[in-house]
């Protein structure tokens, strides 16, 4: 792997994702100096105290001066505003990427604000995370063996793609590329829908029981596993769901049809059809696990 060194790495949004990127970059020895930008002074002070970053930026101009690489790792709902803020201060050779779970809205924001730097913009999405947020949850091994999807646009120069790819690879990630639209459709089914279902199940228990805490007393490890992602940041998932609303609504409608099908099978007491449906689901999951082991 070709070696790369960043004299100045800028992380905008030093939480789980941005903080883990900073830690992994530091551990790999590729970032000489890391500057953090963030809304929460408390979180940013934690980042500084923990050695995740070397400096808390006081303004965008100083943060971006002489920056080699900028990672946008804040909630996707802030993308438009942040891109408008950084645009006047980006230098000619600064490469910019993001870590947002949706891509079409990010690309639209980039075209609205980064017209002079689109050649250096590489939309990206690490398929990694945890149910907890903030820099205290960051870890240098978060991306080890995890997928990172890059969705370059037609304006993106190959050199920017190569740099971004290499940075994620030294963080331990497996990097691939796909079109923007395909990314958002795929993630709506495999990430955004599961999060909606986990949140919905918790709300179902809250709204349809006079004493939900009594129900949860008897919840086992299966329930814990299924609802783990309902502990994720509501702000982040609000932004993701709204940003990918059309694709997510399509997946939700299809999922509802699957539930209706199962409801019909149960109504008809059709044990054979039920076992066939459950077996198909089990087989698909086993194949997926085997491919990823």
What topology is assigned to 182-291 in CATH?
Answer: 6-phosphogluconate dehydrogenase C-terminal fold (1.10.3660)
- Asked whether 34 and 97 are in contact (CB, 8 A), the reply is no
The per-residue pLDDT for 179 is: 96
Measure the CA–CA gap between 142 and 218, rounded to whole angstroms.
32
pLDDT band at 218 (very low <50, low <70, confident <90, very high): confident
87-130 pLDDT tens trace: 999 999 999 999 999 999 999 999 999 988 999 999 999 998 77
Mean pLDDT computed over 248-252 = 97
- Positions of CATH 1.10.3660.10 in the chain: 182-291
The per-residue pLDDT for 131 is: 66
DSSP state, 154? T
Task: Calculate the average pLDDT of the chain.
Answer: 93
The per-residue pLDDT for 1 is: 47
Q: Is 74 helix (H, G, I), strand (E, B) or coil?
A: coil
- Positions of CATH 3.40.50.720 in the chain: 9-178
Place of tokens 């299966």: 222
The per-residue pLDDT for 39 is: 85
Return the CATH architecture of domain 9-178. 3-Layer(aba) Sandwich (3.40)
The DSSP bridge pattern shows strands 124-126 and 147-150 to be antiparallel
Q: Is the pLDDT of residue 2 over 70?
A: no
Q: Is the pLDDT of residue 64 over 90?
A: yes
**Sheet of strand 95-98, all strands in order from the earlier edge strand to the far edge:** 55-56, 34-37, 9-12, 69-72, 95-98, 121-122
The per-residue pLDDT for 3 is: 74
129: left (phi over 0), alpha (psi -120 to 50) or beta: left
Measure the CA–CA gap between 154 and 210, rounded to whole angstroms.
55
222-233 pLDDT tens trace: 999 999 999 988
Assigned token pair, 179: 């079109």
- Asked whether 135 and 43 are in contact (CB, 8 A), the reply is yes
266-279 pLDDT tens trace: 999 999 999 999 99
The percentage of residues in the chain with a pLDDT greater than 70, rounded to a whole number, is 98
Ranking 79-83, 171-175, 215-219 by mean pLDDT, the lowest is 215-219
Mean pLDDT computed over 2-12 = 89
- Asked whether 97 and 123 are in contact (CB, 8 A), the reply is yes
Please list the alpha-helical segments (H only) found in the chain. 16-27, 41-49, 60-64, 79-86, 104-113, 158-170, 180-187, 193-207, 212-216, 221-227, 234-243, 245-267, 271-291
Mean pLDDT computed over 169-194 = 96
Mean pLDDT computed over 30-37 = 94
Residues 38-61: b if buried by 16+ CB within 10 A, e if exposed: beeeebbebbbeeebbbbbbeebe
């Amino acid at each position: 792997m070709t070696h790369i060194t960043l004299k100045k790495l800028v992380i905008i949004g030093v939480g789980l994702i941005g903080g883990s990127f900073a830690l992994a970059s530091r551990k790999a020895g590729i970032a000489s100096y890391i500057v953090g930008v963030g809304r929460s002074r408390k979180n940013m002070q934690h980042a500084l105290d923990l050695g995740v970053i070397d400096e808390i930026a006081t303004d965008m101009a100083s943060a971006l001066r002489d920056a080699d690489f900028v990672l946008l790792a804040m909630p996707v709902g802030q993308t438009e505003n942040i891109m408008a803020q950084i645009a006047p201060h980006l230098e000619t050779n600064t490469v910019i990427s993001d870590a947002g779970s949706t891509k079409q809205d990010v690309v639209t924001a980039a075209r609205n604000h980064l017209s002079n730097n689109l050649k250096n913009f590489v939309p990206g999405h690490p398929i990694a995370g945890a149910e907890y947020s903030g820099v205290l949850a960051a870890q240098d091994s978060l991306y080890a063996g995890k997928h990172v999807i890059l969705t370059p646009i037609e304006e993106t120069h190959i050199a920017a793609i190569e740099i971004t790819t290499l940075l994620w690879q030294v963080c331990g990630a497996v990097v691939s590329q796909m079109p923007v639209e395909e990314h958002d459709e795929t993630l709506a089914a495999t990430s955004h829908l599961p999060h909606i279902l986990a949140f919905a199940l918790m709300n179902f228990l809250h709204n349809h029981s006079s004493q939900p805490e009594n129900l949860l007393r008897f919840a086992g490890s299966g329930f814990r596993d299924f609802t783990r992602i309902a502990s994720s940041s509501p702000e982040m998932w609000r932004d993701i769901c709204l940003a990918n609303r059309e694709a997510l609504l399509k997946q939700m409608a299809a999922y509802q049809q699957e539930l209706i099908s199962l409801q019909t099978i149960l109504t008809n007491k059709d044990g054979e059809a039920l076992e066939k449906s459950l077996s198909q689901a089990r087989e698909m999951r086993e194949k997926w696990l085997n491919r990823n082991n």
